């Protein structure tokens, strides 16, 4: 009989062994997730469904007069499924387990077949897969994640590739804690280690998609500009800029980028929309002979607001200068006439001051999104300098508050604290970079001179008391590079040595 050559018995034995081995492998890795009764039930339910399908197929073959062939079909079908399960774990996770919301089974299966996956940190990869199943699950997600000890699991795992950080962020997002997910993704996207390149790409894509979902297009543009050349976030930024009528590059460039970027099919409707967008008509400028300062200021103002994140510092300086020129006797006279006609009681001088205060909010908002760093040697009109200093003061207070909250001593934090520590560091980096965007190097050096000691102590405590070498290394390496770039009189030898020891 042909059925005798199909080794069904050994296959079943191998499956049982695999299930048992999975529990053992998790324990060996120091994991708190074991192959629980729930996981086994999930697995056997799926296995029973597959067997039932095969039995139905065999019955159909028997009815069709292929009785003698039925066992062969059954055996071949089982063999095919086993081979698929072993050779295509990614597809099984993506298409079957995660969509069904089988959290434990997804984790176990991904963990067991990790050599076949592409992520360099198998434990974190398994948690990321389980997070995807968790999103589909209808159980209490936070309780499930806590019960399975996923955070603790990745904390114990290797963090060298950065995927553990991604796993924490994915887990937070799957549990509905999106603000925490944003902070951790932020830290991952800014980490400087070259081994984190893949994790950084993953984090940037999530952040860009999250910003697009909120309609925060300026953020999408900023993220895209910082992304590598073939990254999807870069294509998204290009598409958004073209849609908003900010054609920094031509359509041919957009088409070329669309071809070389992965996931272009997802972005196709947006690409077509961007290609169909017409460039803005622009505000009609005053004739050269017309020297109405108010109209000129309004024209420049409209152009700057329309440029959004693409606005340049030189453009803002010209805008501020134009508004300052509005303060003239002619404007006072014009306001005085209208005050008389409307029967208003405001003093013309007060009205002029109120008029000149109106653009401050827009200029401040544009500064908040400007992508270009502050150029050295920029001649700042008083209006621009005043708005910049106000904005810098607010950002400096936020940064110092965040730095002040970083712990520098005391007892080590409990194990699942690592994501919190990374999230706190991510928030500090984000605050620093938003301040750096508006600051001259000398101003930034002053800020870093005040804060480097506290950051250094925090990193030392993180390394010594918490054993978080990767986070400490990221802090030391960044401090060393930044202090060196700005010429801050810090203890460079100490920073360099600490970065080397923790690296």
Partner 1 sequence: MSGVFEQNPFYVLGLATGATALEAERQGQKLLGMLELGVAASRTYATPLGPRELNTDLVRQAMADLRDPDRRVIFEALAGLPATDATAAPTAPPAWEGALAAFGWRRPSSP
Residue 390 near partner 1 by CB under 8 A: no
Contact map string, positions 179 to 218, toward partner 1, x by CB under 8 A: --------------------------xx--xx-xxxx-x-
Residue 339 near partner 1 by CB under 8 A: yes
- What tokens does 387 get? 């708005």
Contact map string, positions 290 to 309, toward partner 1, x by CB under 8 A: ----xx--xx-xx--xx---
286 φ/ψ angles, rounded to the nearest 5 degrees: -65, 145
Please, what's the largest Cα pairwise distance for the chain? 109
Q: How many angstroms separate the Cα of 159 from the Cα of each of 186, 406, 437, 481?
A: 16, 21, 30, 22
Nearer to partner 1, 95 or 253 (CB): 95
Residue 362 near partner 1 by CB under 8 A: yes
495 near 483, Cβ under 8 Å? yes
Residue 136 near partner 1 by CB under 8 A: yes
Nearer to partner 1, 268 or 442 (CB): 268
Residue span binding partner 1 (CB under 8 A) among the ranges 31-39, 117-125, 336-344, 422-430: 336-344
Selection from 238, 206, 204 nearest residue 223 by Cα: 204
Residue 252 CA to residue 18 CA, distance in Å, equals 53
Could you say which residues in the range 365-384 bind partner 1, by CB under 8 A? Answer: 365
Nearer to partner 1, 175 or 438 (CB): 175
Residue 361 near partner 1 by CB under 8 A: yes
Pick the binder of partner 1 from 42, 121, 173, 468 (CB under 8 A): 173
Residue 93 near partner 1 by CB under 8 A: no
Residue 419 near partner 1 by CB under 8 A: no
Q: What is the DSSP letter of 278?
A: P
Which residues have C-beta within 8 Å of that of residue 213, sequence separation ≥ 6? none
Q: How many CB atoms lie within 10 A of CB 406?
A: 20
Residue 53 near partner 1 by CB under 8 A: no
Residue 304 CA to residue 282 CA, distance in Å, equals 11
Minimum distance, C-beta of residue 37 to partner 1, in the bound complex (Å): 22
Selection from 165, 204, 148 nearest residue 421 by Cα: 165
Nearer to partner 1, 293 or 412 (CB): 293
Could you say which residues in the range 228-267 bind partner 1, by CB under 8 A? Answer: 232, 240, 243-245, 263, 266
Residue 325 near partner 1 by CB under 8 A: no
Residue 22 CA to residue 14 CA, distance in Å, equals 12
Selection from 282, 288, 287 nearest residue 300 by Cα: 282
Minimum distance, C-beta of residue 394 to partner 1, in the bound complex (Å): 18
Contacts from 41-50 at CB under 8 Å and sequence distance 24+?
42/102, 42/104, 42/105, 43/19, 43/105, 43/108, 46/96, 46/102, 46/105, 47/15, 50/81
Give how many residues touch partner 1 by CB under 8 A: 62
- What tokens does 4 get? 């005798």
Question: Which residues are at the interface with partner 1 (CB under 8 A)?
Answer: 132, 134-136, 138-141, 173-176, 205-206, 209-210, 212-215, 217, 232, 240, 243-245, 263, 266, 270, 273, 277-278, 280-281, 283-284, 294-295, 298-299, 301-302, 305-306, 331, 334-335, 338-339, 342-346, 351, 354-355, 358-359, 361-362, 365
């Amino acid at each position: 009989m042909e059925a005798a050559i199909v080794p069904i018995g050994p296959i079943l034995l191998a499956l049982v062994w695999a299930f048992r081995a999975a529990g053992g492998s998790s324990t060996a890795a120091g994991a708190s997730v074991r192959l629980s009764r729930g996981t086994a039930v999930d697995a056997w339910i799926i296995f029973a469904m597959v067997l039932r399908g095969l039995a139905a197929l065999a019955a159909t073959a028997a009815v069709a007069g292929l009785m003698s062939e039925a066992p062969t079909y059954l055996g071949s079908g089982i063999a095919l499924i086993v081979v698929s399960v072993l050779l295509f774990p990614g597809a099984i996770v993506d298409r079957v387990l995660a969509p069904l919301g089988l959290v434990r089974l997804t984790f176990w299966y991904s963990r067991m077949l990790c050599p076949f996956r592409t992520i360099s940190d198998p434990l974190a990869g398994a948690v990321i897969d389980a997070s995807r199943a968790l999103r589909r699950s209808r159980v209490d997600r936070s309780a499930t994640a806590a019960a399975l000890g996923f955070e603790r699991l990745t904390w114990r795992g290797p963090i060298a590739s950065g995927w553990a950080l991604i796993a924490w962020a994915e887990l937070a997002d799957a549990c509905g804690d999106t603000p925490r997910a944003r902070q951790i993704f932020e830290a991952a996207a800014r980490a400087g280690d070259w081994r984190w390149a893949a994790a950084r790409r993953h984090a940037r894509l999530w952040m860009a998609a999250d910003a697009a979902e909120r309609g925060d297009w300026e953020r999408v543009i900023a993220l895209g500009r910082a992304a590598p050349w073939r990254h999807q976030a870069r294509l998204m930024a290009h598409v958004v800029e073209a849609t908003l009528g900010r054609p920094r590059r031509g359509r041919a460039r957009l088409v070329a980028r669309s071809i070389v970027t992965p996931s272009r099919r997802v972005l196709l409707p947006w690409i077509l929309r961007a290609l169909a967008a017409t460039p803005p008509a622009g505000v009609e400028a005053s004739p050269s002979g017309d020297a109405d300062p108010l109209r000129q200021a309004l024209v420049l103002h409209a152009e700057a607001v329309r440029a959004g994140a693409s606005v340049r510092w030189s453009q803002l300086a010209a805008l501020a200068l134009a508004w300052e020129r509005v303060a003239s006797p002619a404007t006072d006279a014009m306001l005085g006439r209208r005050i008389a006609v409307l029967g208003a009681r405001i003093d013309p001088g007060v009205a002029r001051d109120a008029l000149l205060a109106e653009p401050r909010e827009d200029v401040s908002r544009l500064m908040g999104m400007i992508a270009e760093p502050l150029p050295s040697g920029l001649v700042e009109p008083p209006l621009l300098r005043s708005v910049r200093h106000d904005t810098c003061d607010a950002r400096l207070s936020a940064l110092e508050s965040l730095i002040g909250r970083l712990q520098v001593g005391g007892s080590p934090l409990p194990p699942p604290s690592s994501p919190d520590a990374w999230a706190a560091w991510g928030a500090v980096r984000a605050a620093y970079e938003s301040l750096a965007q508006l600051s001259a190097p000398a101003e930034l050096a002053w800020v870093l001179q005040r804060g480097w000691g506290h950051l250094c102590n925090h990193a030392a405590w993180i390394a010594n008391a918490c054993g978080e070498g990767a986070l400490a290394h990221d802090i030391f390496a960044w401090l060393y590079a930044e202090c060196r770039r700005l010429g801050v009189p810090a203890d460079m030898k100490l920073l360099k040595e600490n970065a080397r020891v923790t690296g």
